[in-house]
Amino acid sequence: MDTKKEIILEDDRALLRPLQSDDFEHLKIFSIQEPELWDFSLSSASGEQNMKTYIEKAIQNREAGLEYPFIVFDKQAGSYAGCTRFYDIQPAHHSLQIGFTWYGKAFQRTGLNRHCKYLLLSYAFDQAGIERVEFRANLKNERSILAMQSIGCTKEGILRSHVVNAKGERRDSIVLSILQNEWQASVQQMLFQKVYGDLP
């Protein structure tokens, strides 16, 4: 995946475009009013300075070829909703992870996330030639785990005492994934139907 390329993903509901420094103005309201959005995260964007640092680091990692962060715009609401990204991009192994995903409370459980995941997975598997897409989450984040399973992810296992979270506590991480052959065989059609209602 060429992280220097401008990638814009969109459908009738969601627009994902590269995260930029001035997107702080669109996202700072979440950092101020909804700091709990990052309770399960490895890095927190709660508070204006943390949000600025979060955005700057994401952009630096994109420039280094490690990640590709997106800001998410909800066309239905006419408002910016949150962020997501490709990360741990490994060209030699044709693999990457999708994560660092968060949405403001008003955008949760509205169907927006499934639109975004379909767009991201379609790009990864159908355009970027990725063979394996991995997802990880805090083992305590049941809502996130259920959401990943609902889009066709297969649970692989648990990494015990894996990393330190934003609160300085060690966490167990669950690992899930979707493979290229699974995407082609069934996951793509299943997810398309959940998102758009008809088979492609």
What pLDDT score was predicted for residue 199? 55
Distance of CA 196 to the CA centre of its chain: 20
Helix intervals (H) in 3-101 = 24-33, 48-63
In the structure, what pLDDT confidence band is assigned to residue 169 with cuts at 50, 70 and 90? confident
Residue pair 133/124 in contact by the 8 Å Cβ criterion: yes
Say if residues 77 and 96 touch (Cβ distance below 8 Å): no
* Residue 2 CB neighbour total at 10 angstroms: 10
Across the range 3-8, mean pLDDT stands at 94
Helix axes 188-196, 112-122, angle to 10 degrees: 140
Question: Residue 200: is its pLDDT beyond 70?
Answer: no
Q: What is the pTM for the complete model shown?
A: 0.94
Instruction: Output the six-digit token pair for 147.
Output: 């959401």
Residue type (1 letter), 146: L
Please tell me the total number of residues recorded for the chain in this structure. Answer: 200
What would the pLDDT profile of 48-79 be if each residue is shown by its tens digit? Answer: 999 999 999 999 999 999 999 999 999 999 99
Q: What is the mean pLDDT of residues 162-185?
A: 92
Name 98's Cβ contacts closer than 8 Å, sequence gap at least 6: 84, 85, 86, 87, 117, 120, 121, 124, 133, 134, 135
Q: What is the mean pLDDT of residues 34-45?
A: 90
Place of tokens 């700091």: 35
| Alpha helices per DSSP H over the chain | 24-33, 48-63, 112-122, 142-150, 180-182, 188-196
